[in-house]
């Protein structure tokens, strides 16, 4: 309020000066007023209240002397004191205000850093730091007005960097969701047996990252989620290595059983396929392709079971007298110039597939030969669904069950 009063007084003085230029010390009063205004630009009312207050009191006194006593020399004296005090207030305040401006910008830069402006608002963040570094240099050179301008510009850039970073903080949530998805995948397997420590660390650091995201501590959040990501990768690797190793052991046992079965010599293509699948399973595991490794293990087990089943079917044939009855000959007459019937029972013919490239063996052709209607291929497919995953792909050496048509 008192500074508004001073301003009013100065305005009045200006008008009075215009009316009484010969009596009033125009230059002295104008000089004092300009010094007071300049002191205000560095917040002298806050940083040098005593000196600034005295400057205002002296210029007010100069006005009072002019009005009451009309003694120009007294008014000049008061104006000179007002000028001196205003300059003192400016010099004292400029240092403190410049120093405070640098600190204020540093705090804003630190807040932007917490929001990970280094990544999410890189240009604004870099400019803020450069501007404040310039402000510090000007401060050291005692160029306080320039220092104040630069620190204010640095503050504005830092605030902009923080705001832009918070607008882009969704990028942290995306990363958190990615790691969370990986952890969920680990939970589908027996992680407690293979990587309990790494799993727990991943969960702990992911929660920390989410809390930091919620608190707008974006830089800390990115650091925490990076640690969680590393923990999750290690937990996944250890878990899947353990799971696939156990699956490979199961496949190895199946392959050994097939090699020791009667079918090993008759179903050589399936036997070779089982061994190849097992080798691929091990290679895939060693290369970190765990899903492929498990798929190859399942193939090795399936082919091994086919070998064993083929041996059983061959044993059924071997147990007969080695010749067909007239009835059997009638049933098999004209059946499959491509493949061969290795045995039969009351419900099925057991048909060994030959090469497609050489013989054109496929379910369509087999159905045509056995039923006289290729559209009945679905009967064969349904009877062999455990073996045939793709009806367009049957492999040489497979033994298929051909359902007999009941009469």
Q: Do 158 and 75 have their domain in common? A: yes
Whole-prediction pTM: 0.55
392 vs 324, more confident? 392
Q: Do 256 and 274 have their domain in common? A: yes
Q: Do 5 and 147 have their domain in common? A: yes
Q: Do 139 and 60 have their domain in common? A: yes
Q: Do 1 and 68 have their domain in common? A: yes
pLDDT tens sequence across 353-399? 875 544 557 888 888 888 888 878 888 988 888 888 788 778 777 88
End-to-end CA distance of the chain: 116
Q: Do 60 and 206 have their domain in common? A: no
Whole-Å CA distances, 339 to 51, 264, 353, 376: 112, 19, 5, 18
**Residue 355, number of CB atoms within 10 A of its CB:** 14
Stretch 168-194: mean pLDDT, rounded?
Answer: 93
pLDDT greater than 90 at residue 122: yes
What pLDDT was estimated at residue 334? Answer: 39
Q: Do 257 and 339 have their domain in common? A: no
**Residue 218, number of CB atoms within 10 A of its CB:** 25
Q: Are 363 and 235 in contact (CB under 8 A)?
A: no
d(CA 234, CA 179) in angstroms, rounded, equals: 12
Q: Are 306 and 387 in contact (CB under 8 A)?
A: yes
Whole-Å CA distances, 39 to 28, 66, 79, 374: 17, 24, 15, 103
Report the number of distinct structural domains present in the chain: 4
Computed over every residue of the chain, the mean pLDDT equals 85
What pLDDT was estimated at residue 138? Answer: 96
d(CA 121, CA 219) in angstroms, rounded, equals: 12
* Lowest mean pLDDT segment, chosen from 115-119, 216-220, 368-372: 368-372
**Exposure letters 270-281 (e unless 16+ CB within 10 A, then b):** bbebbbebbebb
Q: Do 6 and 77 have their domain in common? A: yes
387 vs 54, more confident? 54
Q: Give percent above pLDDT 70 in the chain.
A: 85
pLDDT tens sequence across 202-214? 999 999 999 999 9
Stretch 1-10: mean pLDDT, rounded?
Answer: 49
Q: Do 247 and 223 have their domain in common? A: no
Query: Which residues span the domain enclosing 182?
Result: 170-239
Burial of 18 (0-12, 13-18, 19+ CB in 10 A): exposed
* Lowest mean pLDDT segment, chosen from 184-188, 217-221, 291-295, 361-365: 361-365
Q: Do 184 and 235 have their domain in common? A: yes
What pLDDT was estimated at residue 356? Answer: 54
Q: Do 252 and 223 have their domain in common? A: no
Last residue of a domain, one of 285, 318, 351: 318
DSSP string, 277-310: HHHHHHHHHHTT-HHHHHHHHHHHHHHHHHHHHH
Burial of 394 (0-12, 13-18, 19+ CB in 10 A): buried
Last residue of a domain, one of 114, 149, 165: 165
Stretch 266-286: mean pLDDT, rounded?
Answer: 89
Percent of residues in the chain assigned helix, strand, coil, to nearest 5: 75, 5, 20
Last residue of a domain, one of 145, 165, 185: 165
d(CA 119, CA 131) in angstroms, rounded, equals: 19
Q: Do 2 and 139 have their domain in common? A: yes
What pLDDT was estimated at residue 329? Answer: 43
Strands, sheet with 348-352, edge to edge from the N-terminal-most edge strand: 340-344, 348-352, 399-403
d(CA 77, CA 68) in angstroms, rounded, equals: 15
d(CA 378, CA 399) in angstroms, rounded, equals: 16
């Amino acid at each position: 309020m008192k500074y508004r009063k001073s301003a009013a007084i100065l305005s009045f003085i200006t008008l009075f000066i215009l009316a009484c230029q010969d009596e009033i010390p125009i230059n002295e009063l104008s000089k004092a007023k300009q010094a007071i205004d300049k002191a205000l630009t560095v917040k002298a009312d806050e940083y040098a209240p005593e000196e600034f207050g005295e400057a205002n009191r002296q210029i007010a006194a100069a006005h009072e002397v002019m009005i009451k006593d009309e003694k120009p020399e007294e008014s000049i004296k008061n104006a000179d004191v007002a000028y001196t005090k205003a300059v003192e207030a400016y010099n004292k305040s400029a240092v403190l205000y410049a120093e405070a401006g640098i600190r204020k910008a540093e705090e804003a830069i630190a807040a932007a850093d917490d929001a990970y402006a280094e990544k999410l608002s890189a240009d604004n963040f870099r400019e803020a730091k450069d501007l404040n570094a310039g402000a510090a240099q000007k401060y050291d050179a005692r160029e306080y007005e320039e220092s104040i301008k630069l620190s204010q510009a640095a503050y504005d850039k830092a605030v902009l960097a923080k705001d832009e970073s918070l607008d882009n903080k969704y990028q942290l949530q995306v990363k958190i969701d990615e790691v969370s998805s990986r952890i969920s995948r680990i939970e589908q397997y027996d992680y407690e047996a293979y990587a309990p420590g790494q799993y727990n660390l991943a969960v702990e650091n992911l929660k920390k990252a989410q809390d930091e995201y919620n608190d707008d501590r974006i830089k800390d959040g990115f650091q925490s989620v990076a640690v969680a990501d590393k923990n999750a990768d290690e937990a996944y690797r250890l878990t899947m290595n353990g799971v696939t190793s156990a699956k490979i052991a199961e496949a190895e046992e199946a392959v050994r059983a097939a090699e020791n079965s009667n079918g090993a010599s008759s179903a050589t293509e399936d036997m070779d396929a089982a061994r190849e699948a097992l080798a691929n399973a091990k290679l895939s595991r060693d290369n970190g392709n765990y899903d492929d490794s498990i798929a190859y293990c399942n193939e090795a087990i399936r082919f091994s079971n086919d070998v064993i089943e083929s041996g059983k079917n061959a044993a059924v044939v071997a147990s007969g007298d080695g010749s067909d009855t007239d009835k059997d000959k009638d049933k098999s007459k004209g059946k499959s110039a491509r493949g061969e019937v290795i045995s039969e029972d009351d419900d099925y013919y057991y048909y060994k597939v030959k090469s497609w490239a050489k013989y054109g063996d496929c379910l369509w052709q087999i159905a045509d030969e056995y039923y006289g209607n290729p559209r009945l291929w679905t009967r064969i497919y349904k009877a062999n669904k455990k073996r045939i995953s793709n009806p367009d792909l049957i492999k040489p050496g497979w033994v298929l069950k051909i359902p007999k048509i009941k009469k």
